[in-house]
Amino acid sequence: MFEGFTTRTVEVDGSSVFLRHGGEGPPVLLLHGHPRTSATWHRVAPRLVEAGFSVVCPDLRGYGRSAKPTPAPDHRPHSKRAAAGDLLALMTALGHDRFALAGHDRGSCVALRLSLDHPERVSRLALLDGIPISEHLARADATFATRWWHWFFFAQPEIPERVITADPDAWYRGEAEAMGRENHAEFRAATRDPEVVRGMLEDYRAGLTVDRADEEADRAAGRRVEPPLLVLWSLRDDLEELYGDLLAVWRPWAREVSGHGIDSGHHMAEEAPAELAGALVEFFRDA
């Protein structure tokens, strides 16, 4: 897994980021979602390297082997702005002043925040299986609450930690053959770690509070995604069913939007790596 990549931990601004990076050429930053780690990109990242990119795959703040900040009542240490700050400092430390950026699931929320706060650093932005948190909540109805109930369960204090850590293997399911055995082993080690579980839950608690408020402040100020935006979604997941035209959801948020569905379940980097990598290569080559 990740043959030819360098694996290390970088200290940044009082935090630490575990990452894998490899290749030469224009830099690309790939952000995973919940409950994965950077290992989820093991079938995509080598394809981007072969296409001539320098690829950086970090574990997000609170996830995997990256820093686990102490939770705070306002959830700011686990906000998307705090996570984006880690990654911006990481890319600076690696010598990448400007880079293409892709985020999946919760990683798409971090990628959106980084792009809104620091548009001069992002050449192109790809968001996978995601819409803004505030858009989810503005559209929330009984169907959303039934299917995405975990958002509101995760937001409860203390109870989710007790429930999940009692039997993490039953809660976080994944098949070794489908995910790749090394990726699955890393995922399993992470989800069995109570500190990771707490960090992932704090990510969702921040989402419903400070992250939502930050997005609403952006919209009120007329702030938009400046770099070209590619939106990709899994055709065998439920985003399109819930919201219809996803590009229409994104158009008020960005100056230039394109995108399409991919024949995959939710974890597209594992299930449809060739199609996903092809779409990213085509989009990022125009940066």
Task: Give the pLDDT of the chain (287 residues) as one tens digit per residue.
Answer: 999 999 999 999 889 999 999 999 999 999 999 999 999 999 999 999 999 999 999 999 999 999 999 999 999 999 999 999 999 999 999 999 999 999 999 999 999 999 999 999 999 999 999 999 999 999 999 999 999 999 999 999 999 999 999 999 999 999 999 999 999 999 999 999 999 999 999 999 999 999 999 999 999 999 999 999 999 999 999 999 999 999 999 999 999 999 999 999 999 999 999 999 999 999 999 77
Count the residues in the chain.
Answer: 287
d(C-alpha 7, C-alpha 22), whole Å: 9
The bridge status of strand 27-31 relative to strand 54-58 is: parallel
Topology of the domain comprising 6-284 = Rossmann fold (3.40.50)
| Domain range summary for the chain, segments of one domain joined by + | 6-284
- In the residue annotation, 266 being an active-site residue is answered as yes
Cα–Cα distance between 258 and 70 in angstroms, integer? 38
Q: Is 6 exposed, middle or buried (0-12, 13-18, 19+ CB in 10 A)?
A: exposed
Cα–Cα nearest to 225, from 133, 110, 119 = 119
pTM of the model: 0.98
**CB-based contact 284:99 (threshold 8 Å):** no
Is residue 105 annotated as a catalytic residue, yes or no? Answer: yes
Q: Which of 117, 118, 193, 266 is catalytic?
A: 266
Name the active-site residue from 105, 129, 203, 211: 105
